Structure 1
Amino acid sequence: MNLEGVVSELVTGTVSIFTLRTKEGAQTHVQAEHVPPGLKNGDTVRITGHNPPDPPFVADSVVRLTVPSSSKWKWITAGAAVCLVVALMLLLRAPEQSRRQVPDDTVISTQPVVPPQEVKHAVPAPSPSDPVAVPTPLTPPAGIASIMNVNSTLCLSPAGGTNNLNEQVVQFVCDKDAARVWRFSIIDGDIVKIINGKSGLCLTIAGGRADINAPAVQYTCDGDPSRRWRFAAIDAKTFRLVNLHSNLCLTIAGGDSSLNMTAVQYACDADPSRTWRIAP
């Protein structure tokens, strides 16, 4: 059988069957060794041939080459073998590269890396043999005592040292006169009565008033709340005297440091004339 057509690539291999489909739809089977070199699938060829018992024919057709299954498996097997060899080579080379990158004496840790932390030196706790001094809170004194103004350093006293009711209380020199000392009588907690050592009368606010600058006097120690004072400690040595009725503080009028200046009640601010201490 003679075949004519366009040839672009040599086609060789095992003996196979290729199928030619004519324009009339007839099929012609030709052995591969009869195919001219270079034919490939999709080429259009002119076929002149004879297929007994049919009469001779001439037709243009598209080449369809079929590779037998045995040949296919040969190529597939060969390709798989090549892939397996390449994979084995890569696996064998991986440990070698790892050994090159990591020295023999290097230890690789799988533990997480913890960043360094600031070291804080603990302060040792005091031992039981080293007691810690705790300041003793100031409380009303026991017995009799002189009440000294922190601003003027003068002491409370009934004016002229008299025993009269409603005698104004003033500041005077802290001498040994009995009129300059007072006794703190505790009623409840830090609530006290303040009793003059000479007259036996109580420190109070004139008329039980609640207004600012009302004068302090001495009066009978009854149950009126204006005769009660709260001993408000400031620190270990000083305190304020807060009237229980008015909630105002005992002070010296105008913050004056003069002798015989009257004691009054005023707002409890930080002025030193509102602050008192027990005279030494």
Structure 2
Amino acid sequence: MAQYACGGGAEQAFTFKRAGARIYTIVNVKSGECLAVSGAGTSNGAAVVQQTCAGTAAQKFELKPVSGTQGHLLRPTHSYKCAEVTGARTANSAKVAQNACQADPLVKKNQVWRLSGAPGHL
């Protein structure tokens, strides 16, 4: 997965399907595939990708609110690391991977995700 400037296309829309308390499977509207950590990796730097939905822990994410913001941490349930834009890059095509969660996410904002959109589609 990579970040791009918002364009409103289906490739940038996701459906959040509840899988538990604050736990979701995140499905891309265009591809129908689920976000997952590649190979169910647990190491820092493991890529966040789209893959065929299979209901695995590597395809389930905890949405953890970040206090004082409208943002959330996306935490894969198999590793409980945090999804982040690698290198805190701001350009298009910057890759998304998991990394150790920061003690203060407001210091490392590349781990804070803003979710917006119609109910069910964020």
Aligned CA RMSD, in angstroms, stands at: 1.2
Q: How does 1:260-279 map to 2 (within 5 A)?
A: 260-269=93-102, 270=105, 271-279=108-116
Find out whether 1:238 has 2:75 as its counterpart: no
How far 1:241 sits from its partner (Å)?
A: 0.4
Whichever residue aligns with residue 243 of structure 1, its letter is: P
- Superposition pairs of residues 4-153 of structure 1, within 5 angstroms: none
Letter of the structure 2 residue corresponding to residue 177 of structure 1 = G
Q: Which has the higher contact order (CA 8 A, sep 6+)?
A: 2
Which one-letter code corresponds to 2:73 in the other structure? R
Runs of at least 5 residues in structure 2 that lack an aligned partner in the other structure? 118-122
Structure 2 partner of 1:69: none
C-alpha separation between the residues in 2 aligned to 1:273 and 1:201?
23
1: CA distance, partners of 2:49 / 2:60: 13
Q: Partners in 1 of 2:92 and 2:116 — Cα distance? A: 16
More helix by share: 1
Paired residue for 1:205?
37
Q: What amino acid maps onto 2:114 in structure 1? A: R
* Larger Cα-atom Rg: 1
Structure 1: distance between partners of 2:77 and 2:115: 21
The CA distance in 2 between the partners of 1:230 and 1:198, in whole Å, is 22
Aligned match of 1:252: 85
> Residues 230, 239 of structure 1: CA spacing in aligned structure 2 closer, same or farther, 3 A cutoff?
same
Q: Percent identity?
A: 26
Q: CA deviation at 1:187?
A: 0.9
Structure 1 or 2: larger strand share? 2
TM-score, normalization by structure 1: 0.39
Q: Distance in 1 between matches of 2:10 and 2:55?
A: 25
Shift of 1:201: 0.3
Structure 1 unaligned runs (5+)?
1-168
Residue 226 of structure 1 deviates from its aligned partner by 0.3
Following superposition, the deviation at residue 223 of structure 1 comes to 2.2
- Whole-Å separation in 2 of the counterparts to 1:184 and 1:237: 17
Q: Distance in 2 between matches of 1:223 and 1:278?
A: 22
In 1, the alpha carbon distance for the partners of 2:22 and 2:96 equals 21
SS across alignment from 1:192: strand
> What is the distance in 1 between the residues matched to 2:76 and 2:3?
18
Once the two structures are superposed, the pairs formed by residues 204-223 of structure 1 within 5 Å of their partners are 204-223=36-55
Question: Could you tell me how far 1:279 is from its partner in structure 2?
Answer: 3.9
Q: Deviations over 1:219-238 (max 9, x none)?
A: 11112110000010114611
User: What TM-score, normalized to structure 2?
Assistant: 0.87
Amino acid at match of 1:251: E
- The Cα offsets for residues 98-157 of structure 1, whole Å up to 9 and x where unpaired, read as xxxxxxxxxxxxxxxxxxxxxxxxxxxxxxxxxxxxxxxxxxxxxxxxxxxxxxxxxxxx
* 2:10 counterpart of 1:181: no
Please state how far the C-alpha of 1:199 moved relative to its aligned partner.
0.4
AA of the residue aligned to 1:273: N
